Every structure is written in structure tokens, then in C-alpha cells.
Structure 1
Amino acid sequence: MSEPIFDVAHLGHVEVYTDRFEESLDFFTRVYGLKLSGQEGGSAYLRAWDDYEFHSLKLTRHSTTGVGHIAYRVSSPEALARRVKAIEASDYKVIGWTEGDLGHGKSFRFEDPFGHVFELYWETRRYAPDEADRPALKNMASRFHAQGASPRRLDHLNLLAADVTAFRDFMVTCLGSRVTEQIRLDNGRLGGCWFTVNNKTYDLACTEEHGGGHGRFHHVTYATDQREDILRAADIFLENGVHIETGPHKHAIQGTFFLYVWEPAGNRVELANAGARLILAPDWQTVTWTETDRKKGQAWGLKTIDTFHTHGTPPVRKD
């Protein structure tokens, strides 16, 4: 086993594009329950109530939908230098340095083989609550506000790729990620991989593209404290006319209790409760699921619906 790399600390934020900016912003704040930290240009910077950074979601006005970039915070300035050196020595496309934005300092950008843009950064802006948002307990990032579904923190995202093996190699090389679980199809291909850079079970998943797109976005997920929060959220979404795609239910892979919806522009958004499951074993062996395993459905037998395999953003243009 190669020496683990812990240069990357955690998933920091995800930029999501929307071509219905005002409606998407209303969904993410009033209904989903994120808080607006600030706006600049065509972007809104949002966070869950216990995210320690200024933002964990950057919602950007755009001509289409999908993911703008995926950002990870590293563990130190020295770690950033090591990762940059490793990425520059690889065959992956380097975009270069940016000056950052409202939520963080300079960042280093690069691309996976499918056009998804990633960035690494160290210097960050911690959220500073004002008096109205200051929590009673000083170890919380801000006050629980009970607006909408009110998730606690950013958890993970899922990307689509035509070749999951190629994406796995990218994540291992560039971020030092470990694969905690995977799907091996009968034809030998990898159908999906779940990655972690720390002791969470996963912070990013990649599944095989079945919709004919390129470099697409599957979903972003925020975590709740308990399953009951997700059941309550289902009623909130129902009352607000939000399209519930599937759930509430429990995943077989990773064991998360889930609920998937589409926000007004069509991007898929998940609420999940990951429980207390952590990957503490330094020599964790990847759990492999077969095609037969997956045909059994989710943990309690719910079959995965067709749109879960084909719907991604941006939509695929049909001639």
C-alpha cells in the first residue's frame, strides 16, 4: 500500500450554474435553508448554518446549468505547494492561479479529463456572525435559524464521467483521494467510485455518464443531523412545489438516508444524513459492489429510477 496523502483537508465549496438565478436563489435560501453571506457580480455566496467558511455554495448566473468548479481546501501552504507540484508534473490540464473571490484567497485551478474544473486553496475567509446570528455555544459556526430544510453543512457532490477509471486516476494523482467504495460492472468497467481525502466516508462521487453528455454535474449534497430532518424537508419541498425525484430512502452504498430534488433550474440537489459512519482504518479496503448487487436496488429494496442515471446538468442538446 502506498503512503496515504493528506495534503487536501476537505471539500470547501461547489460553484453551481443557473439560468434562472432569482428562482434558484429563492430555493436555496427560503426553501432549502442556506444563508446568504454575500453577492458579487453575478454570483451569490451561500453557506449552511454550521459551515465554518464564508461560503460552501457559489450560485452563479449563467446561460446554462451545471457545475462551474469544485474547490478543496488544503491542510497548509506547504501542502498546497506539494499538490501544485504534483499536478504540474502530471498529464492533466493546468489552468493556473486565480486571485480567489469573496470567500477565499488565491487558488490553483486544473481540469479532470472530462472538463470539470477543480481548484485548491489555503487562505480562506471564516464566517463571522453578527450579533443576530451569533450562536449561544461558541463552538458553533452560527445560530441555527430554522429556515426551510436547514441543513447543517456541505457534505459531498457527484460528477458524471464517461470513464470512471480515468476519473479515479485523476483524483488519486491530483488530490491524494482514497476510494472507499466502488461499483464494478459485469463488463469490467467501473460504474462508480466514492472518494475521501479525510476520515469522512466520502466527499465526492463519480458515476458513469448514461445521458450522452460531457463534463456534467449529477448533484450536490448537504447534511442534516438526523433522518427526521429529511422527512420534514420532504413536506417543505412538497408545499413549495419542488420536484421530488426520489426518496426519502436509504442508500445501499455508503448507507446514507437520502432525498433528491431538482431546484428550479434543473440542478439536482440532495439532503442526506450520513450518521456517525467514518473511515478510521488507515488500511481501509475498498468495498466493491457488483452489477448484481446494484440490481437489488437501494438498502430497503427501492429501485433506482431511470432519471437518476440519465439526468444531469447541463441538459444534453438533442438534434
Structure 2
Amino acid sequence: MAEPCFDVAHLGHVEVLTNKFDESLNFFVNIYGMTESGRDENSAYLRGWDDYEFHSLKLTRSDTTGMGHVSYRASSPQALERRVAAIEKMGLGIGWVDGDLGHGRAYRFKSPDGHVFELYYDTNLYVAPPHERPALKNVAQRYHGRGACVRRIDHINLLARDVAAIRDFMLEALGSRITEQVVLDNGRLAGCWFTVNNKSYDLACTEDHYGASGRFHHLTYAVDTREEILRAADIYLENGVFIESGPHKHAIQQTFFLYAYEPAGNRVEIANAGARLILRPDWQPITWTEAERRKGQAWGMKTIETFHTHGTPPFDPATQS
């Protein structure tokens, strides 16, 4: 077994593209319950109340939807340089960028499927203004109780034409470990869950139903309890938010979940995914078979069809040659 690599500390932030900026921003602030920590010409920078960095979501105006980039923080400046060298050896590098309101210079690169990734170390810590200062000094921001009031970024799910290629990329580029996977009867890898630390997962990749490349499945923020997820479902109902699936419990990773679409159509999840930790250093991936996945979720609810077909940006097979 290869020695675990901990050059990458954690998932830092995700840039989500929206063609309905004002409506999306209202959703993330007032319904999802995030805090706006800054803004530039094209983007709003948002955070959960216990994210320690300046932001964990960059919401950007666009003529399309989906993910602009996903960003991880390295464990040290030296670890960043090691990962950059490994990625450049793979031939997937884009190059260095100056960063933005939330962090310093960052190295950008692409997955084999075309998703844009970013690695950085220098970061801007969140400093709460007076009205957001917590009573306890060991949290970044007070619990304001607005909307679903998500606590922190948890994970993302990417869609890909070739999940096996993403698997190899995640292991070599980021030093991720595989925690769970889905292998079909024909031997094809249909889904894979990765972690760079001791969380059960920070990124998942599942097969694109249409065979398209570079699309986005969902972004997930964590709350503390299942009861908060049940309350979030009521908050969505009161605000006319489309609930796609849940509340329910996944078999894979045992995440209690609630899926919805924000106004531009990007899928978002609220979950209490932090209960499972992978502390075993010689963890072997849990493999789920095609027959096991056909049973549906943990308590028997069948997976809704749109969970396999809906991604952003939208894909219309009728327009493809």
C-alpha cells in the first residue's frame, strides 16, 4: 500500500456560475443561510458560519451555469510546490493566478474531463465584523440562525465521461484516498468518493449520463443534525424552492441528505456528512455492486431519475451530432 499523502489539507472553496445572479445570491444568503463576506465586479464571496477562511463559495455572474473551479488548500508552501511539480509532470497544468479576495496566488490545472482545479496555501482568514462576532472565540462567526444556516462547506460531486480517469487523477495530483466506489457488472467504474484528510469524502465523481465532459452535479454544505435538514425542507417549501430528493439517507457514505435546485438550476445539498471519519490508515475502498445500487438509498427509497440526468450546465442530447 502506498503511504498516504497529506500535502493537501482540505477542500477550500468552489466557484459556482449563475445566469441569475441576484436570484441565486438571495437564495444562498437568505434561504441557504450563508453570509456575504465580500464582492467584486462579477462575484459575491460567501461563507458558512463556521468556515474559517474568507469564503467557501464564490458565486459568479455568467451566461451559463455549473462550476467555474474547485479549490483546495495545501498543507504548507512546500506541499504546494510538491503538488505543482507532480501536476506539471502529468501535463495538466494551466499555470499560476494571482488569487482573489479570499486567498493569495494559486496554481490552476485541469482534470482529464476538463474541470478546473486550483491549489493555494496563502489564505485570508475571516474576521467577523461587530454584528457577526461570536460569543465564543473558537468559532469564526456567530450562529445567526438565518434560513437553513449551513455551517461549513462539506463536499462537491462532479460528473465525468470517464470516472476511472478522474480516479487516477485525484490520487496522483492531490494525493487523495478512495473511500467508496461503485463498480458495474461490466467492470466499469461508475462512481468514486475521495478524501484528502480524515473526512469520509470531500469530492465525489459519478458517470455523466450523457457522456458529456466537465459538468457539475452538486455542492454540499453541512449542518449539525438531521433535525436541521428537516427544518431546511420546510424553509424550502415556504420559499418555493424546488426540492428534488429527500430528506433521506444515502447508503453510500451514510449521509442524511436534502437536494434542491437554486434559482439558476445548480443542484445544492444540505447534509450532516461529518459524522463519519476515516481514521484507519490502511482503509480499503468499499465497493458497491450494480445490484446493490439498484436497491436505492439506505432505507429503500429509489434514486430519482433526475439525480442521474440533471447536471450543470444543462446538456441536450437532441442538439448533439
Q: Distance in 2 between matches of 1:218 and 1:302?
A: 20
Q: Distance in 1 between matches of 2:79 and 2:147?
A: 38
Runs of at least 4 residues off by over 4 Å: none
Partner of 2:302: 303
Q: Deviations along 1:78-98, whole A, 9 cap, x unmatched?
A: 00010011111113x211000
Q: Distance in 2 between matches of 1:153 and 1:22?
A: 22
Partner of 1:259: 258
Contact residue 7 and residue 74 of structure 2 kept, 8 A: yes
TM-score (norm 1): 0.99
Tell me, yes or no, if structure 1 residue 31 matches structure 2 residue 31: yes
Q: Give the total of aligned pairs.
A: 318
Query: What letter matches 2:174 in structure 1?
Result: L
Give how far 1:277 is off: 1.2
Q: Distance in 2 between matches of 1:168 and 1:312?
A: 20
Give how far 1:276 is off: 2.2
Tell me, yes or no, if structure 1 residue 61 matches structure 2 residue 30: no
Q: Deviations along 1:181-204, whole A, 9 cap, x unmatched?
A: 000101100010000000000000
Contact residue 222 and residue 274 of structure 2 kept, 8 A: no
Query: What letter matches 2:314 in structure 1?
Result: P
Q: Distance in 1 between matches of 2:275 and 2:251?
A: 16
Q: Distance in 2 between matches of 1:149 and 1:140?
A: 18
Give how far 1:213 is off: 2.7
Query: What letter matches 1:29 in structure 2?
Result: V
Q: Distance in 2 between matches of 1:87 and 1:309?
A: 30
> RMSD between aligned alpha carbons?
0.7
Partner of 2:278: 279
Q: Deviations along 1:106-125, whole A, 9 cap, x unmatched?
A: 00000011110000000000
Q: Any gaps of 5 or more consecutive residues in structure 1?
A: none
Query: What letter matches 2:23 in structure 1?
Result: E
Tell me, yes or no, if structure 1 residue 104 matches structure 2 residue 103: yes
Contact residue 211 and residue 311 of structure 1 kept, 8 A: no
TM-score (norm 2): 0.98
Q: Distance in 2 between matches of 1:175 and 1:129?
A: 31
Contact residue 211 and residue 309 of structure 1 kept, 8 A: no
Tell me, yes or no, if structure 1 residue 224 matches structure 2 residue 249: no
Determine helix, strand or coil for the equivalent of 2:180: strand
Partner of 1:2: 2
Tell me, yes or no, if structure 1 residue 133 matches structure 2 residue 143: no
Query: What letter matches 1:100 in structure 2?
Result: G
Contact residue 160 and residue 211 of structure 2 kept, 8 A: no
Task: State, as a whole percentage, how many aligned pairs show the same letter.
Answer: 69
Q: Distance in 2 between matches of 1:266 and 1:247?
A: 17
Q: Distance in 2 between matches of 1:123 and 1:3?
A: 26
Q: Distance in 2 between matches of 1:214 and 1:10?
A: 25
Q: Deviations along 1:157-193, whole A, 9 cap, x unmatched?
A: 0000011100000000100000000001011000100
Partner of 2:245: 246
Q: Any gaps of 5 or more consecutive residues in structure 2?
A: none
